[in-house]
């Protein structure tokens, strides 16, 4: 279907008065160029960062329609209203021109892939924007509704929500439910691809996190080169069993975006763009029932972060009953998931581990168990400082374990 963008007369008139985004950037402007060839990236990011910062002063109502949504997003603050209107206008231009943003987030990526099927009506009202978004395609209706729910979550939680990725709603089409399983030969191939991918992915992930510019450039170049060469093989394996969502496309986009961010010196953002890839691949392998040892580490990673991140932010005064209850629950979960790692064999030659690395692996797996036991003891004994210290200490042995599966070459 052809793209239809309808705007109210009010909106069309207002467009004439929207300043050029570059002209709005002040002298203190900070930040890189963003993805290559995307002149509006920085301006658009600044606007939605502003909205996220001020999320508490934004109100929103979403009405579900049979074929989409009607939303009303408002604020009492004049400046927020202006930025909100500017944001929606900019996002619609992106949808219209097929110029995606936030591609690391599967839901946003998918929405942009179906931009042609979106019908959007936008009305600027004095205190905000009213939007009606519809589609004739039932799957796109689901995407629209899921996206509107995510925007509401941005309004509710601000940056905490923007850091998360959002799942694509399941399609009811037969293609999604009839996902076939892989043959033994395909399983073996996918296992070998997964290990080879991790050998180039892990260095890019680790080095961007360590803020090492030059080594990150080399690592991301290797990751891109690998992905470019092997894409058609991986697609062949994942393609026939994939639903509409094409996770491999999402992964390639995320890598491309991370590359541009590394070039722009934005290593934390690049790391963020790369981070969701591991969960996406874990999900794909789960879907085709492939047992891949590193997925046990990936599963542990997510729970570990839900312990370490809050512990790093906390201080002795901020600890309360709720914090401790959550920590306790997560510590039990982490311990269970680590038992699965302990039961997993990492001896496949696909991992290319040397004898020395195998020994180190054993040591690190044992070190993680020790750290997990220490957190349980600290929770039992109740000393807040020891609890926080023990919570943070579960990360290094995991990181060392995980990094053994990366090929760091000279980086
Ligand atoms: C508090 C923060 C935010 C507010 C208030 C906000 C508001 C809105 C509104 C009102 C719409 C029109 C569609 C609807 O009402 O559902 C919209 C669309 C959109 N927003 Fe945001 N947004 C926020 C953050 C973000 C962020 C962080 C991104 C990430 C890049 C983003 C990307 C988009 C995109 C791509 C669209 C167009 C897609 C579509 O409407 O189908 N927004 N936003």
pLDDT for 206 beyond 50: yes
Which pLDDT band holds residue 286 (cuts at 50, 70, 90)? confident
Contact of 69 with 144, CB cutoff 8 Å: yes
Q: Which atom of ligand 1 is nearest to the CA of 158?
A: 1
Instruction: Tell me the CA distances in angstroms from 402 to 46, 297, 386, 396, one per residue in order.
Output: 34, 7, 26, 10
pLDDT computed for residue 21 by the predictor:
32
Q: Which atom of ligand 1 is nearest to the CA of 100?
A: 35
Q: Which atom of ligand 1 is nearest to the CA of 55?
A: 1
pLDDT computed for residue 13 by the predictor:
28
pLDDT for 29 beyond 70: no
What distance in Å separates the CA atoms of residue 219 and residue 225, rounded to the nearest whole number?
A: 10
pLDDT computed for residue 137 by the predictor:
86
DSSP assignment string, 82-98: HHHHHHHHHHHHHHHHT
The mean-pLDDT minimum among 209-218, 226-235, 322-331 falls in 226-235
Instruction: Please state, rounded to an integer, the average pLDDT across all residues of the chain.
Output: 84
Higher pLDDT, 181 or 209: 209
pLDDT computed for residue 4 by the predictor:
34
Q: Which atom of ligand 1 is nearest to the CA of 128?
A: 10
pLDDT for 53 beyond 60: yes
Average pLDDT rounded to a whole number, residues 268-291:
88
For β-strands 4-7 and 119-125, DSSP reports them as parallel
By CB atoms closer than 10 A (0-12, 13-18, 19+), residue 394 is buried
Q: Which atom of ligand 1 is nearest to the CA of 129?
A: 10
What the block records as the tokens of 181 is: 């399983």
Contact of 129 with 60, CB cutoff 8 Å: no
List the alpha helices (DSSP H) in 314-354. 321-342
pLDDT computed for residue 122 by the predictor:
92
Contact of 319 with 386, CB cutoff 8 Å: no
Q: Give, for ligand 1, the residue of 3, 84, 91, 148 to mutate: max count of ligand atoms closer than 8 Å to Cβ.
A: 91
What distance in Å separates the CA atoms of residue 254 and residue 29, rounded to the nearest whole number?
A: 25
pLDDT for 176 beyond 60: no
In total, the chain counts a number of residues equal to: 411
Tokens 């206008």 appear where?
Answer: 89
282 CA distance to ligand 1 middle (Å): 28
**Which of 239, 276, 272, 273 lies closest to 255 in space, CA to CA?**
273
- Residues with CB under 6 Å of ligand 1 are 48, 51-52, 55, 58, 71, 73, 84, 87-88, 91, 95, 101-102, 108, 111, 129, 131, 133, 147-148, 151, 154-155, 162
130 CA distance to ligand 1 middle (Å): 12
pLDDT computed for residue 30 by the predictor:
31
310 CA distance to ligand 1 middle (Å): 27
The mean-pLDDT minimum among 19-33, 48-62, 174-188, 229-243 falls in 19-33
Which pLDDT band holds residue 123 (cuts at 50, 70, 90)? very high
Which pLDDT band holds residue 12 (cuts at 50, 70, 90)? very low
pLDDT computed for residue 23 by the predictor:
30
Please tell me the residue having the least CA distance from ligand 1 atom 41: 144
What the block records as the tokens of 144 is: 């629209």
pLDDT for 272 beyond 80: yes
pLDDT for 65 beyond 60: yes
The mean-pLDDT minimum among 184-193, 244-253, 265-274, 361-370 falls in 244-253
pLDDT computed for residue 36 by the predictor:
53
pLDDT computed for residue 37 by the predictor:
59
pLDDT computed for residue 409 by the predictor:
79
pLDDT for 18 beyond 50: no
DSSP assignment string, 99-164: ----TTSHHHHHHHHTGGG-EEEEEEETTEEEEEEE-SSHHHHHHHHHHHHHHHHHHHHTHHHHTS
148 CA distance to ligand 1 middle (Å): 8
Share of the chain above pLDDT 90, in %: 58
The mean-pLDDT minimum among 75-84, 152-161, 165-174, 328-337 falls in 165-174
Average pLDDT rounded to a whole number, residues 117-134:
94
pLDDT computed for residue 35 by the predictor:
54
């Amino acid at each position: 279907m052809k793209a239809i963008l309808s705007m109210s007369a009010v909106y069309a008139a207002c467009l004439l008065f929207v300043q050029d985004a570059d002209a709005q950037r002040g002298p203190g402007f900070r930040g890189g160029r963003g993805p290559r060839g995307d002149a509006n990236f920085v301006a658009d990011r600044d606007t939605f960062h502003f909205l996220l910062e001020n999320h508490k002063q934004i109100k929103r109502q979403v009405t579900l329609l049979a074929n989409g949504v009607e939303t009303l997003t408002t604020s009492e603050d004049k400046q927020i209203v202006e930025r909100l209107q500017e944001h929606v206008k900019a996002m619609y231009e992106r949808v219209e021109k097929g110029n995606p943003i936030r591609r690391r987030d599967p839901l946003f990526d998918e929405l942009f892939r179906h931009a042609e099927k979106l019908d959007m009506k936008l009305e600027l009202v004095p205190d905000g924007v009213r939007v009606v978004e519809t589609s004739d395609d039932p799957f796109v209706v689901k995407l629209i509704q899921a996206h509107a729910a995510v925007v509401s979550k941005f309004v509710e939680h601000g940056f905490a929500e923007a850091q998360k990725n959002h799942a694509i709603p399941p399609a009811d089409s037969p293609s999604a439910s009839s996902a076939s399983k892989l043959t033994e030969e395909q399983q073996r191939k996918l296992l070998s691809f997964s290990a080879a991918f991790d050998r180039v992915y892990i260095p890019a992930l680790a080095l961007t996190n360590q803020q090492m510019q030059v080594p990150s450039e080399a690592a991301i170049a290797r990751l891109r080169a690998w992905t470019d060469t092997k894409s058609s093989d991986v697609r062949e394996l994942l393609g026939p069993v994939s639903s509409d969502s094409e996770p491999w496309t999402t992964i390639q986009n995320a890598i491309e975006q991370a590359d541009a961010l590394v070039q722009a010196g934005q290593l934390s953002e690049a790391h963020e763009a790369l981070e969701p890839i591991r969960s996406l691949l874990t999900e794909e392998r789960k879907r085709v029932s492939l047992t891949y040892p590193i997925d046990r580490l990936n599963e542990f990673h997510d729970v570990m972060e839900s312990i370490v991140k809050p512990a790093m932010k906390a201080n002795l005064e901020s600890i309360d009953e709720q914090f401790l209850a959550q920590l306790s629950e997560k510590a039990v979960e982490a311990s269970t998931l680590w038992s699965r790692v302990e039961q997993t064999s990492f001896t496949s030659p696909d991992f290319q581990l040397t004898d020395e690395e195998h020994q180190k692996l054993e040591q690190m797996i044992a070190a993680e168990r020790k750290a997990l036991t220490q957190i349980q003891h600290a929770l039992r004994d109740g000393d807040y400082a020891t609890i926080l210290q023990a919570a943070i200490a579960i990360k290094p042995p995991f990181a060392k374990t995980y990094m053994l599966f990366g090929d760091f070459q000279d980086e």
